[in-house]
Chains A and B, each alone.
Chain A
Amino acid sequence: MGFDPHEPEQRSRLVKALAVADITAGELWLRYFSLSGCAGEYEVQAYLEGLLSLPAGQRDLLAMAANELIEETPEALLDDKPPLLAPYGDQLNGATGDSWEQGNSSPPA
């Protein structure tokens, strides 16, 4: 998918985090749009389905939008356990979405 070898990992881990927090593509897009995101709703949907490639900056913005929404969910506010967050470009490690990403981990050397 695309030129960036990290894209599938970032996408699948985003999809997984959205599923866990029960956030729809429409909700994600609206928040991403409010954060100055420039891809349309259908493009975002296609990206989530692995049908379209997005630039690295827009992928990080989607991750940020998702994480803002995830941190606002009642579960995230009530639970002691850190929620499953969407990874940023510098947090990718070759995993395919099965590992628990806890955000703000240091970038790989």
Chain B
Amino acid sequence: MNYLSLDDLTAAVARIRGLLLTQEKVDNAVALLAQAIKESTPGAAGTGVSLLDWAGRQTSSSFTDVLVKQADTAQYELGEGPCLTAWAAEDVVLVDDVQADGRWPAWTSAVAALPIRSVVSAPLLAGKEAIGALKIYSALPGQFDANSGRVLSLFAGTAATLLAHIQGKETPQRMTEELKATLASRDTINRACGISMERHGMSQDQALQRMIRDARDAGASLGRISEKLITKVPPAER
């Protein structure tokens, strides 16, 4: 016996309807974004984009340079750092000098050996939800100011809107209810159609035509007519 998994079906329908993009496309979009930010920011040693789930776990990320990866990995392992703060507070975080900043002591000592002195990070806000953070690292202190934060926020705003659609991890869950109802309705109507065929000795086409006619005459939906047909006791068993 083969059972169709509702999750598979949901994903299939979501894909058919163009609601989901593949993981490859997410990674590609995120990588292009990181590169674009780096090229438009003078003095950037490296940039990165992280997508986070609701618990602050990284689901997708991209870096222009290895040092960004090292600094980011330390953040997510330690559970603290400028990007996590930007994501959690849903606000731009500016760090003039990493070594003089006391907000993330564990992370500061973890990146002490890396050429990272100043950081700016902006949250990716899709609607009211923070879905990740953008960040720029620089090897020199004092490279970023409120203006860099503003520019990064502009990037983040556009990117978040696109990424929220690409993410799609929760899209199947949201669609499951609609799909369940769709399949249940289709089942009901097909069952009613089969009952009609047997009861009246009709072809499938004729049975469906008759049900459409009944629905129109009664001003009811096809689903309602089918439910009535199914619950009605056949004449032979009365």
Interface positions of A (Cβ within 8 A of B): 26, 30, 33-36, 41, 55, 57, 60-61, 64, 68, 88, 103-104
Question: 13 other contacts beyond A34-B185, A35-B189, A36-B193, with CB at 8 A cut-off?
Answer: A26-B17, A30-B182, A33-B182, A36-B208, A41-B16, A41-B17, A57-B208, A57-B209, A60-B212, A68-B222, A88-B216, A104-B217, A104-B219
- With contacts A64-B212, A68-B221, A104-B216 known, is A35 near B186, CB below 8 A? yes
Q: Is the CB of B189 within 8 A of A60?
A: no
- What is the total of A-B residue contacts with beta carbons within 8 Å? 46
B165 to chain A, nearest CB (A): 15
For A104, list chain B residues within 8 Å (CB). 216-217, 219
Chain B 192-227, CB-CB to A under 8 Å as 1, else 0, gives 010000000000010011001001110101110000
Within 8 Å CB of B17, what residues of A? 26, 30, 41
Interface size grouping (class) on chain B: 20 to 34
Nearest opposing residue in chain B for A57, CB measure: B205
Given contacts A26-B17, A68-B221, contact A60 B209 (CB under 8 A): yes
Taking beta carbons and an 8 Å cutoff, which residues of B are in contact with A? 13, 16-17, 178, 181-183, 185-186, 189-190, 193, 205, 208-209, 212, 215-217, 219, 221-223
Looking at the assembled complex, report how far the CB atom of A9 sits from the nearest CB atom of chain B, in whole angstroms: 18
Q: Which of B181, B190, B215, B219 contacts A64 (CB 8 A)?
A: B215
User: Which of chain A's residues have a CB closer than 8 A to the CB of B208?
Assistant: 36, 57, 61
Interface centre among A33, A35, A68, A88 (most CB of B within 10 A): A35
Which residue of the partner chain A has the closest CB to B183? A34
Nearest 8 interchain pairs by C-beta: A34-B185, A34-B182, A36-B189, A57-B205, A36-B190, A35-B222, A34-B186, A36-B186
A-B contact pairs, 10 of them (CB 8 A): A30-B13, A34-B181, A34-B185, A34-B189, A36-B186, A36-B189, A36-B190, A41-B17, A64-B212, A104-B216
List, in ascending order, chain A residues with CB within 8 A of B216's CB.
Answer: 64, 88, 103-104
